[in-house]
Amino acid sequence: MMSNEAFDDDLMQFPLPYAVKVMGNNQDNFTSLVLAAINPHAPEVDEAAVSSRLSSGGKYISLTISFTAHSRPQLEAIYAALGAMPQVVMVL
């Protein structure tokens, strides 16, 4: 999870375009699981907002999810939800 210092309210003027990068083990439903964790906090996010890339060995997948962030609490909730997922290795 990101620390509160990562969300500097003086620099971030909401709403703003935002991207979250999520890395985890490559499994068939990883994208669906990540979207299910994000959707309670950003219901407009769907598969069209996701770009993915496999690691060179194919063991890991990274997802970049782009959306419009509306508040600091929204971002904190998204990072907390993703960080609580056992399938997620890292969230940036």
Return per-residue pLDDT of the chain as tens, 92 residues. 444 455 556 678 999 999 999 999 999 999 999 999 999 999 999 999 999 999 999 999 999 999 999 999 999 999 999 999 999 999 99
Q: How far apart are CA 47 and CA 74, in angstroms?
A: 19
Stated pTM of the model: 0.87
Q: How far apart are CA 57 and CA 38, in angstroms?
A: 27
* Alpha-carbon distances, residue 58 vs 13, 24, 26, 46 (angstroms): 38, 11, 7, 24
In 10 A of CB 11, how many CB atoms? 7
Please name each of the domains of the chain with its CATH number: 4-91 (3.30.70.260)
